[in-house]
Structure 1
Amino acid sequence: MNLIETFGAKVGALSETNPQRARALLSAGFRANGVKNKVAGKKATKSDRMLFQLVNHAMVDCLANPQQNVMVSLFTPCEMLHLQGLHPYSCEAFSSYLSGSMAEQPFLRQAEDTGIPNSLCSYHKIFIGAAQRGLMPKPRFILSTSLACDANTLTFRHMAEFYGVPHFALDVPFESSPQAVDYVAGQLRQMGQFLAQQTGIPVDEGELVRAVARSQRTMALFQRGLEKRRGKQVLSDLTSELFRTAAFHFLLGLPEVERYARQLLREIETAPPARGKQLLWIHTTPYWVAPLRQLFAQSTRVQIAACDMSYEGIVEADPTKPYEAMARRLVYSPFNGPAQRRIDRALAMAQTVGADGAIWFCHWGCKHTLGGARLGKKRFEEAGLPTLLLDGDSCDRGFGGEGQAATRVEAFLEVLEGTR
């Protein structure tokens, strides 16, 4: 066993007998990882180091100060939580960190042993198992949306019943329209009232306008970076792609995230010409698969130019109408509505960044992504974008197939390079 395996095994074993000690150990491990990144992460770009620290700090806060925790689904707008000093912690982020600690297997088994189906998304199974074992702190309350998968409507209702805490769920209509925006904006206003009831602190409308304006500026900076990305060599890794998803969702609206987006734009603007292949990545990244991680890590041969889990929230909106602006992010998300919307948005982004090919990652349990995979591949290739459908799991090592995944990506790269 290496150090991380030993750490993960200890967290899993302690969670059975003393979940509070397991939580303290996990928090200490996350803190140590933050220090390690500061000392040893010099190969990474400044923006990637900033990104790591802000996400890692958020996860440590959720474990160290659980009295301020609010459980959220990934797509839930969290600007109002930030204003009240609350810590949103998401299903996907918490599960990813457990997986990164090589501690996910006991919690997957825990969930399945209590009747959670094997076909449920592994992010949600890990999340549920960690709650059942007492590792995950009890939240003050829960906020969730129906976007973007049916697991959200099931998991967070189950968690609210399990913890016995209040739950506010945002229903996002399937069709995108101004009427749908008004409907969701009305629910967001109700969510603000719910927060006031739970905390005793009313939402400061002026501060909310400023926070949502910051969110809009952040995503506009990211959009400008993507527009300048074509033909540029910007070195990164699979883990940073995952962290970007966190930054541009449940951490969106924080000043640190805007500073990160500005730094990333500066790096793109000054980046040298690309020497390797540029890929569009669809869905989450299986960062734990060592051969894939090594293939993409600071690689001049291949880079991910854009990932739809990160650019998903780029939507034009008027921040002086904060509830409508947050609603537009949900209603006009490419993850809302038919799969064709996600496909069309991806094709437009492939053109923007000058992608040489696309990888559509079919994360086990994600019906939204699995269902659109073949439609996406057909449409991409009709448009002249070579596409690889890659099966796997973003956080469950028990899924296996690590070597096969890396071999398939290597073969795909050889095709793009014209060496096969």
Structure 2
Amino acid sequence: MMQVSKRPWYQGAVSFWLKDVGSASYFIAATITSFLCLIATGIEELITLMIMFATICMYSAIAWQSIKMQATEWQSLVVGYREHVMFQGKVFIVFSNLISILSIIIAGNINLLATLTLANLIGLVIWFLNRSFSHLFTSVCYFSYFVATLVCVLIEQLPVWLIPVNIIAYIAIALLHNNFSSAYVWRPDSLSNYRNGLQSGWSPIPSGFLSDYGSSINKGLFPLSYFVGSGLSQYLILLTLLCTIGVVINLFYNITEHVIFVLTLCLFAIVTLSLWGKIQKQNSWELLFTLPIYNSSFSAKVALSNSVLKLAILVASLCFITASALSLANPTFLIFNILSYSLACSAGVLLSFAIGNVCKNINLLSFFMCISFGLNMGLANYMFDHGNDISELIIMATYTLAMAAINRFTVRYL
């Protein structure tokens, strides 16, 4: 066994947090969003969501490292390995919180401090659960993100009295966590959980769920479904079900803007998961090229571009139908708003896949996907609220066509 050696706390940080593709996807998203909080201080709804998202993402990156320790024996072979990595994670958590506190001071809204403490509480639960139970990562993370999103969307400002309540919860978890189970212990199933999560992007949908209903969708979106798998049709079916539920509820309670926000958020989250699955199977091109339906590798790439275009058209249709149905209860939204919003979502899908065509490095992909995620979300929601002019509709149509052309052009770099 290696002897304990003095090393700077930052040694190996690049390898641990940026070269590990799983941890990097959360760490990069948390870092970018943390700094964007300083820019969004004047937009209350946006900074609330960004503070929550940045904090939970940073804890998710630490939880990923915790699962990796359960799946490997590095902490047993290298003395001080676990303490070193976890200390780096704690430094990043503190740094992220300091940036969030600075943005709260600039915004001058103490209620945002309640949001930050709640985000830390949710993140702490994610970390402490997954450092003992690797199989819970998917369900815990996605449930936490879902709850955090609902809190930000449905509650304008969290009450100040929630701050001491969250602090008391921190203390309780810190005092009692050792009574639940042993942490960071190697378990036989941890390696399989880690590998499956790494390949699928920790998809929250079981592999067999709704698989009997999506064969025609996967066939129509081939060869994109070849890379993403059955999850592509599952995502689309679930998104359609969520839209239907939202439209039905909207008939009784006016939640039009909330449904549109959640729809847009889920849509681009699905695109991110699809790109992750596609990147993990990047080396499978050879099997696709051997199919007799393609004359060359370029024809297969063009077919992939066409399937992405079909997906964008499906997305535009779903967004148009959902927004039109929602507008029945809220007639203030014009047809221009609905069309502009639908085109913005479609263009966002095309832009995201164009980035995936060009970026081979997972770190660069994570970086640009975070930026495009925020831009696409902002543009789509802005068009739904303010795209009520024909000139804006023409601009969005031109932008969508440009993204379709860029997606077709960039497939040659796959």
Q: Which has the higher helix share?
A: 2
TM-score by length of structure 2 reads 0.28
TM-score by length of structure 1 reads 0.28
Q: Which has the higher strand share?
A: 1
